[in-house]
Amino acid sequence: MVRKIIKDTFILMKKSEKAGKGDIRIARDLLDTLNANKEICVGLAANMIGENKNIIAVQMGIIPVVMINPVIVSHSAGSYETEEGCLSLEGVRKTRRWNEIEVEYDDMMMKKHKNLYKGLVSQIIQHEIDHCNGIII
């Protein structure tokens, strides 16, 4: 189900709770909402649709991927400054992002994964994990 995008910073600043098998409906709604906004959005966190769960959806090329309880377990020493927009916020803001990240997460079948990401996908994942941690750029 496509959900309304939350713009209330009080809600967005809350740290997300760990997600479990019972939260797969939220993950599906996140995918539906990402697909409905694919012309203007490349990633979403569950709190952006009003759910305080540690779940993100990231557009990786033509395939959207859901990450449940994603954690950055390592990152490159190098970082860069960039500007990012957000569907929940007006305008763009400056932020720093690592060049590469390694992320552990569960998929929608609750199967564990650990992958290395770089480039735009890495940047999107970092942005959405920030959302899960209550960090607003």
Run means of pLDDT, 10 residues per run, the chain, 137 residues: 96 97 97 96 97 97 95 97 94 96 98 97 98 95
Angle at 118 (CA atoms; ends 54, 107), nearest 5 degrees: 35
Q: Which helix (H) or strand (E) covers residue 28, if one does?
A: helix 24-36
pLDDT for position 130: 98
Q: Which residues on neighbouring strands pair with residue 45, listed in sequence order?
A: 56
pLDDT for position 137: 85
Residues with a known catalytic role: 128
How many C-beta atoms lie closer than 10 Å to residue 31's C-beta?
17
> How far is the C-alpha of 37 from the C-alpha of 31, rounded, in Å?
10
pLDDT for position 22: 97
